[in-house]
């Protein structure tokens, strides 16, 4: 498995499209990291998903992860009430077009009880090869 901070650094360093992909099991969500339909950089598997607000695909600008759902409100006011209902691991996504976290149409969130990041075919020795 990969570390979230390696994934975030990679997404900040180059253009990465995050697209919904077929999940391997029920109650699981899968995001695939690629570029323009090419590349197999990484996959994110979210298991026991509590809340999801995602586009079917977007170019990642930044990612934030927290175990405290209440801190999401500092990124976007639209998420201020999530902590009253959800308690899982939260991952916030900002599109590459987004200049700040507060713009609703450019930010997404996923809350799940378990998240795994897996290397794709184009990720070798701790970093992508493509």
Number of domains forming the structure of the chain: 1
Domain residue limits at 102:
4-128
Contact 111, 50 (CB under 8 A): yes
* H/E stretch holding 56: none
Convert 105-119 to b/e letters by CB count within 10 Å (16 or more is b). Answer: ebbbbbbbeebebeb
Nearest Cα to Cα of residue 108 among 31, 56, 55, 72: 55
How high is the mean pLDDT in each 10-residue block of the chain (130 residues)?
93 93 90 90 95 92 94 90 94 90 85 95 70
pLDDT at 58: 94
């Amino acid at each position: 498995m990969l570390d979230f901070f390696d994934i975030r650094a990679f997404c900040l360093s180059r253009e990465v499209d995050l697209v919904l992909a077929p999940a391997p099991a029920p109650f699981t969500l899968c995001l695939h990291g690629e570029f323009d339909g090419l590349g197999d950089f990484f996959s994110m598997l979210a298991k026991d998903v509590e809340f999801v607000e995602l586009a079917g695909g977007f170019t990642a600008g930044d990612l934030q992860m927290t175990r405290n759902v209440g801190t999401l409100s500092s990124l976007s006011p639209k998420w201020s009430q999530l902590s009253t209902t959800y308690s899982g691991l939260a991952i916030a996504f900002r599109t590459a077009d987004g200049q700040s976290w507060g713009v609703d149409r450019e930010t997404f969130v996923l809350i799940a009880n378990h998240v795994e990041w897996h290397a794709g075919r184009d990720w070798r020795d701790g970093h992508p090869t493509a």
